Amino acid sequence: MIVTRFAPSPTGFLHIGGLRTALFSWLWARKNNGKFLLRIEDTDLSRNSEEALQAILEAFDWVGLNYDGEVAYQSKRFDIYKEYVKKLLDEGKAYHCYMSREELDALREAQQAAGEQPRYDGRYRDGKLAAVDGVEPVVRIKAPLDGVIEFDDGVKGGLSFGAKELDDFIIARSDGTPTYNFVVVIDDALMGVTEVIRGDDHTSNTPKQIVLYEALGFTIPKFYHVPMILGDGGKKLSKRDGAADVMEYKTLGYLPEALLNFLVRLGWSNGDQELFSIDEMLSLFDPSGINKSASQYNLEKLNWINGEYLKKTPIARLKELLKDFGCDSFGQNEELLFKNALERAKTLVDLAATINSMTNAPTSYDEAAMAKSINDEAKEILSGFTDTLKACSAKDEHEFKGVIDEFLASRELKMPRLGMPIRVALTGSTQSPSINELLAIIGREESIKRLESFLK
């Protein structure tokens, strides 16, 4: 059975790079009827944030990435880690090191001065140096002294690291707390993780983890290291570019399924296909198809995808979602309203603003539009059209078109002479659908009320 995991640290909010990694892991597990696990890497007790933890869980719930079993917390597993530290010590695969911070700094300075790569020199490895009274030792693994550490990366292909690139790295600090690479190996092994999909910033950790897998006798999983998402100019993605808390995308009016569609295309593709349902992602996704090069964040693409998803969303669901964006009035013709509003809207924020501009009476009027479109002649035309509306019984856009055509013909007017002023009067701006559709959306009585108010 394929078992994948996502293991965020609750020292900050979940951003879209992390969500993409989680999505890839979730898709691969679900496609293969396997398990997808969620583990919170909270061993850094001084930096953990309960707010960040809740935001991570909230983000998973919002986008619908369900996980199997309970959330695992590393902070509750310290006893397990201590057992495995003891096991390695007892088997002679790890040892206590009493080297002080000052000694280590001096060693590194000397190595740098000699043009060497700074690294621990293994002075306590063979047990010849005695324990130092009053010093709490760290625990170091006995890393291989020669040879090559190799593995087949599912994205990057075959990778190899010379053993000399590693030193005897620390697996437990002097206060007894275990280090990142150590606990990751223990947890992935005990949780049965078979495939690790993660950011390629972890590539350099992999040889260390392989050393630990082999020392502990655990099966080494398959690794997939996913290239980063880059911002403008090929730079690291910043918060300004889009590396924001995932839940900010909800606040900005994006649909969770649209965000997932956007993310799956950042580094993976199926020909030229741009839009994917979850079922299509599950059917087509394979981590071996992830691009080797970094992906470029593209806000325009996200907005386009979200706009397409909005158009496919049932009106009933849109109405429910729009409540969070101050939009709960939908005029006399909801179907026509949404048809027009969705033509331009890219987010729920856009959609709410467009709908409100039509269904809510304006509280102010665009000054530039007033100066350009409203004069004595325009007021007289609007007054005459108001009387025409009072005398008709039109309800839908077709009937209103007939009313408009008859009015224009009777006065020998072209449409812009009525269109520009009436848009300003009904919505406060020059942006709206065709006048007959706008009247059908607002309704005859409300349109008369707005026109009379404007003329006063």
pLDDT tens-digit map of 31-68: 999 999 999 998 877 777 788 888 899 999 999 999 99
Q: Is 430 found in the same domain as 353?
A: yes
Whether the model pTM is above 0.85: yes
Q: Is 59 found in the same domain as 200?
A: yes
Which CATH number goes with the domain that contains 386?
1.10.10.350
Q: Is 434 found in the same domain as 320?
A: yes
Q: Is 204 found in the same domain as 242?
A: no
Distance CA 63, CA 255 (A): 8
Q: What is the pLDDT of residue 164?
A: 86
Q: Is 416 found in the same domain as 356?
A: yes
Host H or E run for residue 368: helix 367-373
Which CATH number goes with the domain that contains 130?
3.90.800.10
| Dihedrals phi, psi of 125, to nearest 5 degrees | -65, -45
Distance CA 279, CA 290 (A): 18
Q: Is 431 found in the same domain as 357?
A: yes
Distance CA 138, CA 100 (A): 10
Please say which residue of 272, 296, 311 terminates a domain: 311
Q: Is 441 found in the same domain as 403?
A: yes
pLDDT tens-digit map of 72-85: 999 999 999 999 99
DSSP 329-363: ---S-HHHHHHHHHHH-SSHHHHHHHHHHHHS--S
With CA atoms as reference, report the closest residue to 299 among 247, 254, 353: 254
Which CATH number goes with the domain that contains 243?
1.10.1160.10
Q: Is 84 found in the same domain as 33?
A: no
pLDDT tens-digit map of 305-335: 999 999 999 999 999 999 999 999 998 899 9
Host H or E run for residue 139: strand 138-141
In the sheet that holds 157-162, the strands lie side by side as 157-162, 148-153, 222-226, 195-199
Reported as half-sphere exposure (CB side, CA atoms, 13 A), residue 393 has a value of 0
Q: Is 334 found in the same domain as 380?
A: yes
Q: What is the pLDDT of residue 421?
A: 94
With CA atoms as reference, report the closest residue to 283 among 65, 67, 32: 32
Which CATH number goes with the domain that contains 201?
3.40.50.620
DSSP bridge partners of 345: none
Instruction: State the SS3 of 374-392.
Output: CCHHHHHHHHHHHHHHHHC
DSSP bridge partners of 97: 138
Please say which residue of 204, 229, 254 terminates a domain: 229
Tokens representing residue 423 in the block = 């848009």
Please say which residue of 268, 295, 311 terminates a domain: 311
Q: Is 165 found in the same domain as 25?
A: no
Q: Is 439 found in the same domain as 328?
A: yes
For each of the chain's 456 residues, which pLDDT tens digit applies?
A: 999 999 998 877 889 999 999 999 999 999 999 999 999 998 877 777 788 888 899 999 999 999 999 999 999 999 999 999 999 999 999 999 999 888 888 999 998 998 888 889 999 999 889 999 888 999 999 999 999 999 999 999 999 999 888 999 999 999 999 999 999 999 999 999 999 999 999 999 999 999 999 999 999 999 999 999 998 777 888 766 666 789 999 999 999 999 999 999 999 999 999 999 999 999 999 999 999 999 999 999 999 999 999 999 999 999 999 999 999 999 889 999 999 999 989 999 999 999 999 999 999 998 998 998 899 999 999 999 999 999 999 999 999 999 999 999 999 999 999 999 999 999 998 887 899 999 999 999 999 999 999 999
Q: Is 322 found in the same domain as 295?
A: no
Q: What is the pLDDT of residue 243?
A: 66
Q: Residue 64 gets which letter from DSSP? A: T
Hey, what amino acid is at 125?
R
Number of domains the chain is built from: 4
Tokens representing residue 31 in the block = 């496609």
Domain range for 262: 232-311
